[in-house]
Amino acid sequence: MTIAADNANAVIPDSGTTISATAGDHTILLSGTNNVLSATGGTEYVMAFHGGNSITTGAGNDTIRFGGSGNTIDGGSGANHLEDSGSNNTIVLPSGGNGTDDIYGSVFQNGDTFDLRPMLAQTGWNGDPSALGDYVSVNSNGVDATISVSRTGAGGASYDVATIRDAGSIGLDALLSHSLV
């Protein structure tokens, strides 16, 4: 199914549908499960509360609100606002310098996973777990936790890629225990 550029408000009532929106800004409600959405053409506002969905947005400053479990969320390269009211979801983090995600919800308590693989693929990291801290860091102010990545490792420029709101005092070990690397 393709959502036209001039269809600003789309409701997808079905389950198991592959949806593409490559032009224009949209508000999209996925009311089914196991949908695959690629909305890369503009600024997107996506809501999906039933789980099992794969949602990818592009370079726009997107808002994605999702619940249920088993979702995979990739906000793309914009300045994105992600709200997770579900559990056991996967959030794909952007690569350094290519977007930021503001993440809301009890992601650590609800069993969510952060997929760091695309982010790390854009660095010089060679897969050695002992060197991971040279590329990924977590800075916490006691309330929010900011995840940063360096493309070249220790001493190189770092880029904020995500801020987990209300995460409390977490560090790199806590992040990695909830991550795919």
Residue 139: the pLDDT is 97
Q: What is the pLDDT along the chain (181 residues), one digit of tens a residue?
A: 999 888 888 888 889 999 999 889 999 999 999 999 999 989 999 999 999 999 999 999 999 999 999 999 999 999 999 999 999 999 999 999 999 999 999 999 999 999 999 999 999 999 999 999 999 999 999 999 999 999 999 888 999 999 999 999 999 999 999 999 9
Tokens of 49: 């509360």
Task: Sketch the domain layout of the chain as residue ranges.
Answer: 1-92
Torsion sign across C-alpha atoms 173, 169, 138, 87: positive
d(CA 89, CA 95): 19
Residue 49: the pLDDT is 94
CB 79 within 8 A of CB 96: no
Residue 11: the pLDDT is 85
Residue 75: the pLDDT is 97
Tokens of 74: 């990739």
d(CA 83, CA 65): 5
d(CA 96, CA 115): 14
Residue 63: the pLDDT is 98
Residue 5: the pLDDT is 85
Residue 13: the pLDDT is 84
Q: What 8-state DSSP symbol labels residue 93?
A: P
Residue 7: the pLDDT is 85
Alpha-helix residue ranges (DSSP H) falling in 1-116:
none
Beta bridge partners of 63: 45, 81
Tokens of 89: 């979801």
Residue 4: the pLDDT is 85
